[in-house]
Amino acid sequence: MAIESQQRESLLQAAQQARLSAYTPYSKYKVGAALLTESGKIFTGVNVENAAYPVSICAERTAIFKAVSEGERKFSAIAVVTENGGSPCGSCRQVMAEFAPDMQVFIAKTDGTIDLETTVKELLPAYFGPGDLP
């Protein structure tokens, strides 16, 4: 499902704004994400680090979990903004695939440059999904 350019710009701006609230005292690598639901709502997320590194969480999963906790299950697009256009990690790709393998993904830098426009399926082509379970 293609989204309009105005929606894409709104997502990128929301991700950029969210990024400012990231909690990154260790890596200093701030990530902001903005998730567009099929109902038109936008949920933002940031990465939150922890001194016990494995319990940290990424911005993409934060946005998705916020949306799910509010009853949303269908997603159209997600924008991810980092200083250098970093791509979602494997865990985030797997969570995105759980809900929306066809979702559009926009990966951008803080200057607004979109480094990659893709889909979750293209980021994680052989994902393990609900259909793989009995």
Whether 72 is a known active-site residue: answer no
Q: Do residues 110 and 81 lie in contact, with contact meaning Cβ atoms separated by under 8 Å?
A: yes
- Of residues 4, 38, 49, 60, which has the active-site annotation? 60
SS3 133: coil
104's tokens: 């559009």
**Nearest in space to 58 (alpha carbons), one of 84, 83, 85, 87:** 87
Give the Cα-Cα-Cα angle 26, 30, 93 (nearest 5 degrees): 105
The total of other beta-carbon atoms located within 10 Å of residue 122's CB is 12
**Active-site positions?**
60
